[in-house]
Structure 1
Amino acid sequence: MTNPIGVFDSGYGGLTVLKELVGRLPQYDYIYLGDNARTPYGNRSFETVYQYTLQCVQWLFDQGCPLVILACNTASAKALRTIQQLDLPRIAPDNRVLGVIRPTTEVVGQYSRSGKVGVLATRGTVLSESYPIEIAKFFPDLQVYQQPCPLWVPLIENNEHDKPGADYFVREYIDQLLARCAEIDTVVLACTHYPLLKDKIAACLPDGSVLISQGEIVAGSLADYLQRHPEMESRCSKGGRVRFYTTDSTEDFDNHAGIFYGHNLRSAHVLLT
């Protein structure tokens, strides 16, 4: 039995993170789980997101994963801390669950010259206040402005993100963000779906703005984590194999997933009850 690194997302967005993980650390085995049957998580309650996330993490543990990455900002914001503090000691004390928010907030201040940072996210991530709280720990002088973008994930998941109609909704949210502070010079894409809109978002930002996607940052953070924790690194199997699972239609998943992952793939179905 292999011991892959688990990567979880509520849908497809985490594939943008997985792509970077495999690119940076191709020697490891990976298993991806998309909870497409219950997506989106962004507008669900904290309790619901926590219950769904814990169920998916447990499934990945059952597949032999000693380490699970929550490649979902909403799950990282609403469920990660509770799982780490309350559930892991009880269900798998030697396993670890990591998120995507902390690696991003650890470095965001290095990019901003004005000290004004924008965060584009789902409504759930914005309401959690996770980004302002975490950024303040590392860069207390940074001013953080959050902008919920509730229509972007549906646009992307319905493959409308590269159509002209998406331009209006990208411009609308960017204008709302910049209306609150015109000096924002660094913007975090705090949802793993949003890199698919990166070019459209960049076109709406002032010249010289820095746009931060999470995949590359998370991949670097994982490489550093494994180097600092040889006891965990040695438990992760190294066969270069990547497997994909979805809680919904495999046909739909396979048709959409290539947009996020960069090439065609084949998934298997998982029934979570």
Structure 2
Amino acid sequence: MHVLTNKPIGIFDSGYGGLTVFKSIAAALPQYDYIYLGDTARAPYGNRTFKVIHEYTWECVQWLFKQGCGLVILACNTASAKALRTIQQQDLQPAYPTQRVLGVIRPTAEVIGNYTSSKEIGVLGTRGTVNSESYLLEIEKFFPDVKVYQQACALWVPIIEAGEYDKPGADYFVQLYLDQLLAQSPGIDTVLLACTHYPLLQDKIQSHLPAGINVVAQGDIVAASLTDYLQRHPEIETGITCNGTKAFFTTSDDTADFDHHASLFFSAPVQSSFTPLK
């Protein structure tokens, strides 16, 4: 396999969803080099255990380090919820003390309270993200007066990855989970899409919600947070090369299938390479 000679920012997701975050990051910071890795051979991560998610995520992060990445973004809520803390606190220092790994939950929690007037937020995510209670804990730190209600949407990722997200059949399952969320409180005025797949359903989600409820995706939030992080950490920023390149890798050997799906999430043509993570 060809190893990149530049020093890109690494962006990781278990599958395709992280490309919605990558799209926003690349739009905000087009000058940098990027490498995206989707672990599609082992996706989805949402229903796996903490141990397995950490094992898979750390393996992918190390692969990105070996490609020259000094900074890796976990553009995956499940990995951010179940693997990031262990990677930051236990894994990095012994083997990669100068590299950094960031997630998408904390940047979102730092600002999401600014979107609500009623001080009630609904969080839609995978079962893994919801069960981790990461959003409850992180939002409490920054907005202790905001009430957070969660709803796991177990079937949304399969619907999206099957290419059915814009079909009439998806409407039933969108309405199902929204009804379950709103049944928890009539005061919810902000809904957070706490899965990077869900922006593909955003139009349907908005259409099935009562008027006045704000739907918030994470891409622009994470991009703004990364911009701020790099300004505050010049020791990291100066190590990133600036050729404006984007490389895409998948752990699935069916790169044509990956490229088809990835192009929908990235809103631009994608041409990927296969990596067995060795």
TM-score by length of 2: 0.97
Alignment of 1:95-174 (within 5 A): 95-174=99-178
Work out whether 1:259 is the aligned partner of 2:267. Answer: no
SS of residue paired to 2:258: helix
The amino acid across from 1:51 in the alignment is E
SS of residue paired to 1:6: strand
Provide the C-alpha distance between the structure 1 equivalents of 2:186 and 2:32, rounded to a whole number of angstroms. Answer: 43
Provide the C-alpha distance between the structure 2 equivalents of 1:170 and 1:90, rounded to a whole number of angstroms. Answer: 44
* Residue matched to 2:206: 202
Measured after TM superposition, the shift of residue 272 of structure 1 is: 2.6
Measured after TM superposition, the shift of residue 96 of structure 1 is: 0.3
**Alignment match of 1:189 (pick from 164, 189, 193):** 193
Work out whether 1:271 is the aligned partner of 2:269. Answer: no
Provide the C-alpha distance between the structure 2 equivalents of 1:255 and 1:207, rounded to a whole number of angstroms. Answer: 34
Measured after TM superposition, the shift of residue 5 of structure 1 is: 0.1
Provide the C-alpha distance between the structure 2 equivalents of 1:108 and 1:264, rounded to a whole number of angstroms. Answer: 31
* Residue matched to 1:232: 236
**Alignment match of 2:217 (pick from 213, 218, 222):** 213
SS of residue paired to 1:180: coil
* Residue matched to 2:184: 180
Provide the C-alpha distance between the structure 1 equivalents of 2:95 and 2:13, rounded to a whole number of angstroms. Answer: 21
SS of residue paired to 1:37: coil
Provide the C-alpha distance between the structure 1 equivalents of 2:237 and 2:273, rounded to a whole number of angstroms. Answer: 27
Provide the C-alpha distance between the structure 2 equivalents of 1:255 and 1:26, rounded to a whole number of angstroms. Answer: 23
Measured after TM superposition, the shift of residue 203 of structure 1 is: 1.0
Work out whether 1:16 is the aligned partner of 2:20. Answer: yes
* Residue matched to 1:250: 255
Provide the C-alpha distance between the structure 1 equivalents of 2:208 and 2:196, rounded to a whole number of angstroms. Answer: 19
* Identity %, equivalent residues: 64
Question: 5+ unaligned residues in a row in structure 1: which ranges?
Answer: none
Greater Cα offset, 67-76 or 207-216: 207-216
Provide the C-alpha distance between the structure 2 equivalents of 1:213 and 1:86, rounded to a whole number of angstroms. Answer: 30
SS of residue paired to 2:273: strand
* Residue matched to 1:47: 51
Provide the C-alpha distance between the structure 1 equivalents of 2:95 and 2:216, rounded to a whole number of angstroms. Answer: 35
Measured after TM superposition, the shift of residue 255 of structure 1 is: 1.1
SS of residue paired to 1:245: strand
Aligned residues: 273
| Runs of at least 4 residues off by over 4 Å | none
Work out whether 1:56 is the aligned partner of 2:60. Answer: yes
Provide the C-alpha distance between the structure 2 equivalents of 1:172 and 1:96, rounded to a whole number of angstroms. Answer: 39
Provide the C-alpha distance between the structure 2 equivalents of 1:263 and 1:63, rounded to a whole number of angstroms. Answer: 24
Provide the C-alpha distance between the structure 2 equivalents of 1:271 and 1:50, rounded to a whole number of angstroms. Answer: 18
SS of residue paired to 1:117: strand
Measured after TM superposition, the shift of residue 265 of structure 1 is: 1.2
Q: Deviations over 1:90-143 (max 9, x none)?
A: 111001000000010000111111111000000000000000000000001111
SS of residue paired to 2:45: coil
SS of residue paired to 2:41: helix
RMSD of equivalent CA atoms? 0.6
Provide the C-alpha distance between the structure 2 equivalents of 1:8 and 1:91, rounded to a whole number of angstroms. Answer: 19
